[in-house]
Amino acid sequence: MIYEISSIHDERLKLFTSMTEAQLRNRLNQQQGIFIAESPKVIRVALQAGYEPIALLCERRHIDGDAKDIIEANPDMPIYTGTREMLAELTGYTLTRGVLCAMKRKPEPALEEILRDSQRVCVIDAVCDTTNIGAIFRSAAALGIDAVLLTQSSCDPLNRRAIRVSMGTIFLVPWTWLDDYSQLHALGFKTAAMALTDNSISLADPILKQQSKLAIIMGTEGDGLPPETIRNANYTVRIPMYHHVDSLNVAAAAAVAFWELAGVHK
């Protein structure tokens, strides 16, 4: 059913316009909340990954254009539409590709479940920048990382901007939350903390590729990884660099580490 929007105060649009990310996460219950996917390409990836749509918000021109196949595949989904100017007023900014879809979250998988057949995983430790989260997921998908784990102090991967930056790859790589690094060690993983210390080894050190199960730990850009995390890791790893450059953006560093240690060398 298609609904023409005539007021920016329409109550049916609250989940698109006035709810915070935290409110969306808790919209249904603690196990299953809501997230917003933006752009037809990203929405299609989410649908193919089995996420259930709730409602679509788009410009009129996209109903028979970019969003046509999405709408036809989900005939019971309510469609809210209006002019580009109306939607910009509703959301506070001009939409990317003019399409938003509210979708139900899936229950988060157990750590043991997604690590059962994994060999190379990434741990995102206290990274709160949504752009970096999305970029890390995109590299993880492209370069053969089997799963992504996030500490509770990290940003939610289903944040709207993180999803958009990832180009939907957040829906392709299994992920869940990590409570304690001891869980990884108990499941047979060696941990490699990406950090600059006096006793760090090179990313090219053969010992890293020899590990049957390896977790690559990426920390926040400002402070890096906590000293305790580095201390308890099996390896501390640095990326060799030149011109006295001492660090890379965390998303760039993750891509380099994934290329060297993950799928392309399996």
What's 147's domain CATH number? 3.40.1280.10
Q: Do both 136 and 257 map to the same domain? A: yes
Q: Do both 22 and 56 map to the same domain? A: yes
For residue 219, what are the domain limits? 111-265
Q: Do both 74 and 51 map to the same domain? A: yes
Among 172, 185, 164, 184, smallest CA distance to 146 is for 172
Among 96, 215, 208, 106, smallest CA distance to 151 is for 215
Q: Do both 144 and 199 map to the same domain? A: yes
Give the strands of the sheet with 79-82, arranged side by side. Answer: 2-4, 79-82, 53-59, 99-104, 34-38
pLDDT by residue (tens digit) across 28-77? Answer: 444 568 899 999 999 999 999 999 999 999 888 888 999 999 999 999 99
Domain final position from 55, 83, 104: 104
Q: Do both 200 and 128 map to the same domain? A: yes
Write down the pLDDT at residue 249. 92
Q: Do both 168 and 71 map to the same domain? A: no
Write down the pLDDT at residue 148. 98
Q: Do both 54 and 172 map to the same domain? A: no
pLDDT by residue (tens digit) across 91-148? Answer: 555 555 578 999 999 988 999 999 999 999 999 999 999 999 999 999 999 999 999 9
Q: Which of 6-15, 135-144, 224-233 bottoms out in mean pLDDT, i.e. has the lowest?
A: 6-15
Domain final position from 104, 120, 149: 104
Q: Which of 4-13, 107-116, 256-265 bottoms out in mean pLDDT, i.e. has the lowest?
A: 4-13
Write down the pLDDT at residue 84. 74
Asked whether the whole model's pTM tops 0.95, one would answer no
Q: Do both 66 and 144 map to the same domain? A: no
Write down the pLDDT at residue 27. 47
Count of domains forming the chain: 2
Domain final position from 104, 134, 155: 104
Q: Do both 12 and 79 map to the same domain? A: yes
